[in-house]
Amino acid sequence: MSPPDDDASDADLLFAFVRRRYAERLSAEELEALRRSVDEVARLSAALRAVKLANADEPFQRFEPYRADA
């Protein structure tokens, strides 16, 4: 199959990556279903990117430096 063209959507490009990694393990039917799952990932991504955040909005997950003797 030829690579995605310049007009390919994000989902097309992402699916091309996924397909390249796993296609040999999958049937045509499974690949088709996998394409729908990648489309879903693209929808999730679009929903997240639609929300604007401030620079100060940090990940809600605290990192703590580690010391074995602390």
Partner 1 sequence: MNPVFRPLRELADAVRERRVSPVALAETFLERLQQLGPRYNALVTLTRERAMTEARRADAEIAAGRWRGPLHGIPYGAKDLLATGGGIPTTWGAAPLRAQTFDADATVIQRLQAAGAVLVAKLSMVELAGGMGYRQPNASFTGPGISPWGGTWSGGSSSGSGSAVGAGLVPFAIGSETWGSILSPAAYCGITGLRPTYGRVSRHGAMALCWTLDKLGPLALTADDCGLVLDAIAGPDPRDPTAADRPYRYEAGEVGGRRFRFGVVRDVAEPAEPPVREAFEQSLEVLRKIGTVEEVTLADLPYEAITRTILLSEAASAFEDMIESGTIAQLTAPEDRYQPYARDAILAKDYVKALRLRGLVAREADRVLSRLDALVAPGRPATPPPLDRDFGVLHRPPRDPMGAIGNLAGLPAVGVPNGFTSDGLPISLQFMGRAWEENTVLAAARAWQSMTDWHLRRPGL
Q: Which residues bind partner 1 (CB under 8 A)?
A: 11, 14-15, 17-18, 21-22, 25-26, 30, 33-34, 37-38, 40-45, 47-51, 53, 57-61
The amino acid that residue 43 corresponds to is R
- Minimum distance between the CB of residue 6 and partner 1, rounded to whole angstroms? 20
Q: Identify which of residues 8 and 17 has a Cβ nearer to partner 1 in the complex.
A: 17
Contact assessment for residue 16 and residue 4, using Cβ atoms and an 8 Å cutoff:
yes
- Minimum distance between the CB of residue 44 and partner 1, rounded to whole angstroms? 5
The amino acid that residue 44 corresponds to is L
Q: Identify which of residues 7 and 57 has a Cβ nearer to partner 1 in the complex.
A: 57
CA dihedral 32, 34, 11, 44 (to 10 degrees): 130
Joined tokens for residue 24: 């040999």
